[in-house]
Amino acid sequence: MEKYDVAIIGGGSAGLAALKQLSNLGKQAVLIEGGHKVGTKNLSGGILYSKKPKRGKVFNVEDVYGDAFFTDKPFERKITSYILHAASKNKIYSMDLTAAHDYEANFGYSVLLNKLNAWFAKQALESAQKLGGGIIPGVHVNSISWDAQTGKTTITTDELEEFEVKAIIAADGVNSEVAEICGVRPKFTPSQLYQGVKVVVKVPEEIINERFGVESGEGAAHLFSGDVTLNHIGGGFLYTNSNTLSLGAVYHFDSLLSNPTDPSSLINALIANPYVSEFLKDQIPLRKEIDKSLPQEEQMRVRFAVAKLIKTWYELRDAALSPTGRENLIKSGKYSSAEEIKEKLTFIQDQLTQKYGVSFVTDYNESEYGAKLIPDGKRCRMKKPYFKNILFVGDAAGRGIFIGPRIEGLNVGIDDAVRAANAVAASLDKNNFELKNLGESYSFAVEQSPYTKDMTEIDKDYLKIFLDAAKDVPKDIIGSRYGPIIKLMSSGTFRSVAVKFANILGYDRLLPMVESEDTYVKVPILIAERLGKAVNSTYLPSIPSLAQRIAKLNYDDDKQSHIKVIDNKTEFMKKLTILCPTKCYTLENDQVMLAHEGCIECGTCSQETDWKHPRGEKGINYQYG
Amino acid sequence: MTQLNLAVIIKLEPDFSEGSVSYNPDGTLNRAETKSTLGPHSAVAAKAAFYAKVRYGARIAVTTMGPPMGEMALQQAQQTCDAEELHLYSDRIFAGADTLATAEVLRAGIQKLEDKADIVFSGHRASDGETGQTGPQTAWKLGYTFFGNVIDYHVDVQTRTITIKRIVSLQGFYDVVEEVQAPLPVFIAIDPSYKATFNTVSERLAYEKYQKEAKIRADNYKQYLKVFNVQQLGVDQTLVGLPGSPTIVYKVERIPKGKANRKAEVLDGSNPEHIRKAVSKIKEALSAMVIK
């Protein structure tokens, strides 16, 4: 049997950081990833933070990857404005939360995981290969066993011969199969999870700059509460990427279960909001129906020519409306100046309109639909994130920060990964993988992380920033329910006492009070109606159907299903016919049936199904993530 | 471990993929307009060689006879198999060669490689000529044991023996797998269904490593490329090109179109009436079937 020092299971941002950190420490590790390429199964809302807490230290992305992160720029834009909106119909009230976004932060970049993780992988692989390790994509781990006598750890996969390792870092995400294999914790329950759905919308770079009032390289993040939530606890977000926008909805899974709503309609509610839709709009070529009286060959020729011209038009326009795009085109020698690019673009556009009857309308251009579950660290972080010689990091350990508008996951995963890698490296040095040496020392290190503190306690300074931002909201709107609390919290001395008292009470007791329909829906609607500005949409976005959204996704279908319904008559499964983001389930004669396998592997149904990640290389391949 | 040396013979072929291929009005291939690419069967041969690189750390040379443009195909093959050496045999004298004259050039070229080839790979056949003769003829000229339709192989590098699996049709049974062992050197014409599998962590790691290396090498392929003309190759001029070809392509005829025995009806997918019609037709067809 082949032997390796460390196996990292899962090639997301956390797993890759673990590989890079272990390599930085001169330790050999192999990373096993299910997707055919790293990054194709990853999805995030899209902001990667680097933090500098006042107390304690966290390990940031640049600590792991060095300056190359800033020179190669695998991210999208540096978020320089962070705004929370309360929405009701066409009225919107905005609060600037940039100070909260900047709180204890070095930076926050918008990211698309396919690109970001591919870059992380490249860096990590280069270092790992020098030590005889590396990344193995397209492999799905199905079991881990320990020899009763020797304690030797053996990993079994669907694709490869068994191999032996000394330690394992489990970075296989929120639906961690490693956790299930070793039984270290039950599956996360709906009350511990959020469901996030997201679409990527294409908008040329300079239009984004103008519309969001930012420079190239800089960006904005907008959060939405109020009626766009369709009465659920959570909210919407809109982040600017280089030449795309990430538009998403993140809701308490509990809240979705109590009032089942189709996830794509939660996205649609955002798109239909006039304030949001104005951000998304763009010029979209609309083809003319082909004249059926023409000979068939001519019909084909026209269809082909129009498709090709539209493709060229999109590509050229994307480049023409981006400083680096123009620069690259000129550098390539195809064009001599920006004017020439513009002329060519006009020429193609004229050809499309005059020769082929294509009209250009105002609409929006959606590229990718995706969904994932997000662990709420306050409620589900593993208190002891280890089992024997396995260390759990990031989503797999249920670690993520959700505090009002503060949403952080990627940075937490990276911090965990570094701590895990350090603990494994120390154990390798001592050749001692006993609990005391490995598991408990990692657990201790994680407890020391300021992020863990954020998951357990209220930070009164952060709260102050948040309250300052909300100071313009008349107290009477917030109502009798929050009035006294707000008043108490607004005064410096009282706040300290109140937060202390609140922290004694603990998040468990406080959360139901704060994370309520009042906070996310009713109060924002009131605010928007009273104080909001009216915004009118200049167009009607043609929102694709779910079928059209799924049709755009790229799958490597597996003949073998990775989902098995356990009981097809439970209430939960019946609700899943609505809550599955790709509507994989239907109800037939009061029984839940798996209708199709357009599964995007979010794991929303995993609570009551025998749900596994697909075999190696199979399943969804995100282009953006 | 002693070194294992491989050669792959490949061919630059018209790219028959959509959008690249162009036809003359009479239906024959417009060679000037059609793009060229590494032939699909050649690509399988390169993949088969890459398997030995991953498993045994083999040294690979890729060779082709063709116009100067042939180096494109060599570059593509190098990206697939991470070759250390690329040979292009290019000379006007080689033009008009049939399979036998081509085999003579390839034979001479393979014997000029830096290291003597232990295994030579070729594709099943070319997608333009489709004779499947060049491989076996080259093997015969080299004096190598020839295996066709190979779907799998393993080498014992120490004893210099190879075990291959080949697909044969036997007494009316198709897809019979024959396992044969032979001493090196051998010539393998790889079956199009060949698929390399790497089943251990170390093989997968090597696979990733060599793939990366292959990309870097292919980006600088000129560094690995050697071009030979007839003199440099030192072949008998009467055995190559048109003079060396006992056969010529005399005439190309279109394959007569088979008579369609189905009645097709064009339906418009956006017309609900048409869809209804299709559904009722399907129902009709299903009802006629006996489902056991």
Query: Which element (helix H / strand E) includes B169?
Result: strand B161-170
Chain A residues in contact with B205 by the CB 8 A cut-off are: 30, 129, 132-134, 136
pLDDT (tens digit, 9 = 90+) per residue, A103-117? 999 999 999 999 999
pLDDT (tens digit, 9 = 90+) per residue, A507-564? 777 777 778 888 889 989 999 999 999 999 999 999 999 999 999 999 998 888 899 9
Which of these, B70, B101, B54, lies nearest to B62 by C-alpha position?
Answer: B70
Query: Per the CB < 8 Å rule, is B205 touching A133?
Result: yes
pLDDT at B27: 64
Query: Per the CB < 8 Å rule, is A160 touching B208?
Result: no
The secondary structure of residue A383, as a DSSP letter, is S
Per residue, what are the HEC states of A175-210? CCHHHHHHCCCCCCCHHHEEEEEEEEEECCHHHHHH
Check CB contact of A6 with chain B, cutoff 8 Å.
Answer: no
Residues 113-132 of A with CB under 8 A from B: 125, 129, 132
Chain A residues in contact with B208 by the CB 8 A cut-off are: 125, 129, 134-136
How far does the CA of residue B201 sit from the closest CA of chain A (Å)?
7
pLDDT at A151: 84
Question: What's the topology of domain A2-76+111-185+382-456?
Answer: FAD/NAD(P)-binding domain (3.50.50)
pLDDT at A404: 81
How distant is the alpha carbon of residue A124 from its chain centre? 21
pLDDT at A484: 62
pLDDT at A22: 98
ipTM value, please give it: 0.85
Domain ranges (residues) in chain B: 5-239
> Region A223-237: what's the mean pLDDT?
95
Check CB contact of B202 with chain A, cutoff 8 Å.
Answer: yes
Domain with CATH 3.30.70 in chain A: 555-614
Which of these, A421, A348, A417, lies nearest to A22 by C-alpha position?
Answer: A421
CB atoms within 10 A of CB A384: 16
Check CB contact of A30 with chain B, cutoff 8 Å.
Answer: yes
Give the pair of three-digit tokens for residue B4: 């294992």
Check CB contact of A135 with chain B, cutoff 8 Å.
Answer: yes
Whole-number mean pLDDT of chain B?
90
Burial classification of residue B92, based on how many CB atoms lie within 10 Å of its CB (0-12 exposed, 13-18 middle, 19 or more buried): exposed
User: B280 pLDDT exceeds 60?
Assistant: yes
Chain B residues in contact with A132 by the CB 8 A cut-off are: 205
pLDDT (tens digit, 9 = 90+) per residue, B257-269? 777 777 778 888 8
Could you give the C-alpha distances from A511 to A147, A340, A341, A398, A465, in angstroms and in order? Answer: 44, 58, 55, 17, 19
Report residue B291's pLDDT band, with 50, 70 and 90 as the boundaries.
low
Check CB contact of B200 with chain A, cutoff 8 Å.
Answer: yes
A48 φ, ψ to 5°? Answer: -105, 120
Task: Choose the CATH number for B5-239 among 3.30.300.30, 3.40.50.620, 3.90.1010.10, 2.60.40.10.
Answer: 3.40.50.620
How far does the CA of residue B187 sit from the closest CA of chain A (Å)?
30
pLDDT (tens digit, 9 = 90+) per residue, B95-120? 989 999 999 999 999 999 999 999 99
pLDDT at B249: 77
Q: Considering only residues B88 and A290, tell me which one the structure prediction assigns the higher pLDDT.
A: B88
Give me the amino acid identity at A261.
Answer: T
Chain B residues in contact with A159 by the CB 8 A cut-off are: 199
Q: Where do runs of H (alpha helix) occur along A367-409?
A: 377-380
Residues 5-44 of B with CB under 8 A from A: none
> Is CATH 3.30.70 correct for A555-614?
yes
pLDDT at B170: 77
Domain with CATH 3.50.50.60 in chain A: 2-76+111-185+382-456
Please name the member of A4, A125, A129 whose beta carbon is closest to the beta carbon of B201. Answer: A4
User: A194 pLDDT exceeds 90?
Assistant: yes
Give the pair of three-digit tokens for residue A194: 């959020």
> Taking the alpha carbons of B190, B193, B198, B204 in that order, is the dihedral positive or negative?
positive
pLDDT at B26: 66
pLDDT (tens digit, 9 = 90+) per residue, A469-509? 877 877 777 665 566 666 666 677 777 777 777 777 777 77
Name the packing angle between helices A323-331 and A296-320 (round to 10°). Answer: 110
Check CB contact of B92 with chain A, cutoff 8 Å.
Answer: no
Chain B residues in contact with A551 by the CB 8 A cut-off are: none
Could you give the CA distance from residue A110 to residue A46 in angstroms, rounded to a whole number? 5
DSSP lists the bridge partners of residue A245 as A201, A240
Whole-number mean pLDDT of chain A?
93
pLDDT at B253: 75
CB atoms within 10 A of CB A213: 10
Give the pair of three-digit tokens for residue A210: 């103008």
Q: Tell me which of B201, B211, B266 to substitute to probe the interface with A (most A C-beta atoms closer than 10 Å).
A: B201
pLDDT at A479: 60
Lowest mean pLDDT of A77-91, A311-325, B121-135, name the range. Answer: B121-135
Please name the member of B204, B208, B209 whose beta carbon is closest to the beta carbon of A160. Answer: B204
Could you give the CA distance from residue A47 to residue A13 in angstroms, rounded to a whole number? 12
Chain B residues in contact with A135 by the CB 8 A cut-off are: 208
Query: Per the CB < 8 Å rule, is B200 touching A160?
Result: yes
pLDDT at A465: 87
How far does the CA of residue A400 sit from the closest CA of chain B (Å)?
32
Query: Per the CB < 8 Å rule, is A136 touching B202?
Result: no
CB atoms within 10 A of CB A508: 10
Query: Per the CB < 8 Å rule, is B200 touching A161?
Result: yes
Report residue B15's pLDDT band, with 50, 70 and 90 as the boundaries.
confident
How far does the CA of residue B222 sit from the closest CA of chain A (Å)?
22
Residues 139-168 of A with CB under 8 A from B: 139, 159-161, 163
> Region A124-130: what's the mean pLDDT?
95
Burial B268-290 (b: 16+ CB within 10 A, else e): eeeeeeeeeeeeeeeeeeeeeee
Question: Quick one: what percent of chain A has pLDDT higher than 70?
Answer: 98
Check CB contact of A134 with chain B, cutoff 8 Å.
Answer: yes
A52, A106 Cβ separation under 8 angstroms: yes
pLDDT (tens digit, 9 = 90+) per residue, A551-587? 999 999 888 889 999 999 999 999 999 999 999 999 9
Chain B residue closest to A161 (CA)?
B200
Chain A residues in contact with B201 by the CB 8 A cut-off are: 2, 4, 30, 136, 160-161, 163
How far does the CA of residue B130 sit from the closest CA of chain A (Å)?
30
